A and B are shown apart, each in its own frame.
Chain A
């Protein structure tokens, strides 16, 4: 257990090294936040209370999206490129020799990364957004605590999805296509482009049931106080359910891959 703690701390420190890049990323998140905020204002101007949000709640959603974009790796950018590359080159054989569990090792590293991105890339854009617009941030510490739990569960789901996708490289070798598809799905079905609760009809129902909604839509609803009481328990259960299901899928895939795949090379 201590080992995985060290790996997680390493993941945190690794991303914390690039300070200029972090500042540049904050700048970009803020610019996109502004652009999206104005389009949302125009949209909610026409239809107040669209999707059960008022304008300030919709704006909070925008800035939350920018804040969680990196932490929940909605556009990729976590460990998966590296893992796919190790599988493709055969370096994965070395990893399998190591006295660590493959899935837990990458999970620990990704949790460290997510923790850094939540602090380094999340807090600042949110603060800029709160300065420029009137946001509907909760006053209660309990809501913030529930939100944090929801974000952690979101990161777990995000990791589990990306781990499954990366392992597909054992069979496909070139993971670029699958990764691109999963990246697209993540961007769209996490609610990054538009809140899932304003997706119309069946599309909306499907989108809200898919695992990606655990990355942004569910944490946002927790922060905005839309999920309380049993609703909150339901939200957590939804996220935890997907996390467990996908982590188990990743585990099964991992054992299948290590059992039947012949690693390339002499």
Chain B
């Protein structure tokens, strides 16, 4: 973590290097991750300077997301099932998406500040540094306080896991971590694609929230609650259904929406990979079309 920066400049392949091939791609990826790690470590040190503030903001983050779940609890003070799903089952869905989204928010949450950086011109500073822009950007203002959100998600997930009535098999047990990790990667791809969109529509940062925050709110509830067209949209257009619905419905042994085949429960890693590929294309296209603010 504490290697001197000069070292990185020597070997840094950077995005501009022309030789392509699997070896240089691996090298570029490793370099990107190392840069990311260095910047994250810096922000964590800076956060820890104000410990009280860190604790308070983490607690606040925990409470914000907890309010969501309290609203669901209040709903269940009136009903026994919502869309045919019990509280435990909804807690399972909620916890899975909450944890997955929390992980993405922690590691990539800063990328939705792209529009602001373009407006005030500070993006240019990132472009001249010998390190991948996306790595610098994702690590920028890394906010450890977002651990609060993950903690809340994990707590609800645990509650859901304990209360649901499931015949656990090794395969079903494996589905849970697979779902959280792939889901988090799918959300990361949505974040990056949304950031790429901001290269063209700088003031439209809020559109991104409807897919990230809106998506994670949507996935807290079972698909039976929503209209079929909406479910179709989040399955085939923005594949958020793969974050938790399809794998979780398999674990719960529930019928699939839209008569989708059950095998799709195992698709999330694949869907995540395809999403990353698409997001990478969008990001590169966006970065190439970027012309500074001028003057």
Contacts and interface: CB of A to CB of B under 8 A. Distances in A.
A89 B230 CA distance: 47
Contacts of A194: 71, 74-75
A20 interface: yes
Contact of B60 (A32, A181, A193): A181
A188 B67 contact: yes
B162 interface: no
A133 B57 CA distance: 39
Contacts of A205: none
Contact of A193 (B67, B209, B224): B67
Interface stretch (A22-30, A140-148, A219-227, A231-239): A22-30
A82 to B, nearest CB: 16
B204 A21 contact: yes
A42 B226 CA distance: 9
Contacts, number: 92
B71 A193 contact: yes
B226 A28 contact: no
User: Which of B64, B81, B203 has the most chain A CB within a 10 Å cutoff?
Assistant: B203
Contacts of B217: 32, 35
A187 B67 contact: yes
Contact of A198 (B53, B63, B78, B81): B78
Contacts of B237: none
Nearest to A188: B67
Interface in A166-225: 174, 176-177, 180-181, 184, 187-188, 193-194, 198-200
Contacts of A43: 75, 78-79, 82
Contacts of B82: 39, 42-43, 46
Contacts of B202: 20
Contacts of A25: 206
Contacts of B79: 43, 46-47
Interface residues of A, number: 33
A34 B230 contact: yes
A18 interface: yes
A188 B67 CA distance: 7
Contacts of A42: 82-83, 221, 224-225
Contacts of B205: 21, 24
Contacts of A32: 210, 214, 217
B187 to A, nearest CB: 16
Contact of A18 (B63, B74, B203, B226): B203
A193 B68 contact: yes
Nearest to B75: A43
Give the 8 A-B CB pairs with smallest separation, nearest first. A31-B210, A20-B203, A24-B204, A24-B206, A46-B79, A21-B203, A193-B71, A42-B225
Interface of B: 53, 56-57, 60, 63-64, 67-68, 70-71, 74-75, 77-83, 201-207, 209-210, 214, 217-218, 221, 224-227, 230
5 contacts: A18-B203, A24-B201, A27-B210, A47-B79, A198-B74
